[in-house]
Amino acid sequence: MLAVFSLIFAVVPMVFYLWMVWLMDRYDREPIGLLMLHFLWGALGAVFFGIIGSIILSALVGTNEFGDAIFVAPVVEEITKGILLFATVRMRRFDNITDGIVYGMAIGLGFGMTENFLYFLSAQTVGDWVFLVIVRTLFSAVMHAMATGIFGAFVGATKFSGFFKRVVFRLLGLFIAMLMHFTWNYSVSINDPAAQGLGLVFILISVVIIFVILQIALAYESKLIRRELGEEVKLGIIPAEHLSYLPYSSKRRLQGWMPVADKKKEYIRLATELAFRRYQLVRCKENERQSYENDIERIRREIKLIFGVDETATPQTLF
C-alpha cells in the first residue's frame, strides 16, 4: 500500500506542475510528445545516468554521504538532466528562451518525480512519509525544475549564437543550475533550522525569478510576432486587421475577428509558426537557409488555403 500511495503522490503533483508549465507558454505551446520526451528523460534517463555518474565521481574524489549530497549530486545530476537539451535545441520546434525553460523544467519535474518516489518508499513511519511528501513535492522537486529550467533558458537564448558565446553562456547556465542545487542540498543537509528555513525561502525566490524571466520572454515573443507578421501584412499573406489580435494571447480568444471561424485555431498556429520561422531565417546558418525558406513558403501556402486563395500563387518574398 505504501508503494501505491508513494507512486500516486510522486506522479500526480509533477504531472500537474508540468501541465501548468505547458500552459504558461502562451504563444507557441510545445508538442505534447516532445514535452513528454523531456519529462521521461528526466524521470528515467537522467536518473539512471545520474546514479552511475554519482557512484563514479564519489569513488574518484572519495566523498562521504554529506559530500555526495552537496557536491557530487549537484554536478552529476545537473549534467545528466541538461544533456538532452544539447540535442533537442537543434530541433526547429525549440525556438528560444521560453522553450528552453519549458523543456528544462519538464526534465527537472520528471527527475523530481522519480526521486520523490524513491524517497517516499524509504519512509519509516507515516509521519516521516507525510513530511517527505510535503517537503519534496513543494520544494525539492521544484528545485530540480527551476535549476534545469534556468539552464534551458541559457541553451535557448544561445540557439543562434556563435560557438564561443554558446559555450560560455551554456557553461554559465550549467554553473548557476549546479549552484542552485548545491544551495538547496546544503540547506537541508545540515542540522540548522535557520539554514533550512533559508533554503525554503531560496526555492520560493527562485520560483519568482524564473516566473519573471518567463514573462519577459513571453513579452518579447509578442513583440516578435507583431514585428514579423507586420512584414507578412505587406506581402498580403496576413490581413492587416489581424495584427490587433495575433500577437496577444488574450485577444486571440476573442470571437468575430477571424472570418473562417472553424479554422481559427489552425490559423493562429500557422501565423505564429510563420513569425518564428522568419525570425530564425535571419539568424540561422547559411546551409540551413533553404530549409527555413521552404518552411516559410509552405506555411504561407497553408495560410492562403485557409482563406480560399489559390495555393499555387507565389507571393512576393523579402528573402
pLDDT of res. 2: 86
pLDDT of residue 318: 38
Q: Which of 212, 2, 15, 213 is nearest to 112 (CA)?
A: 15
State the residue for C-alpha cell 524517497: 119
pLDDT of residue 311: 55
Q: Which residue ranges of the chain lie beneath pLDDT 50?
A: 313-319
> In b/e form, how buried is each residue of 23-61, taking b as 16+ CB within 10 angstroms?
ebbbbbbbeeebbebbbbbbbebbbebbeebbeebbeee
For 53, 235, 256, 268, the CA distances from 124, given in Å and listed in that order, are 28, 68, 60, 53
- CA 287 → CA 53, 66, 92, 159, 298, distances in Å? 37, 50, 14, 15, 19
| pLDDT digits 0-9 by tens, 214-259 | 999 999 999 999 999 999 999 999 999 999 999 999 999 999 899 8
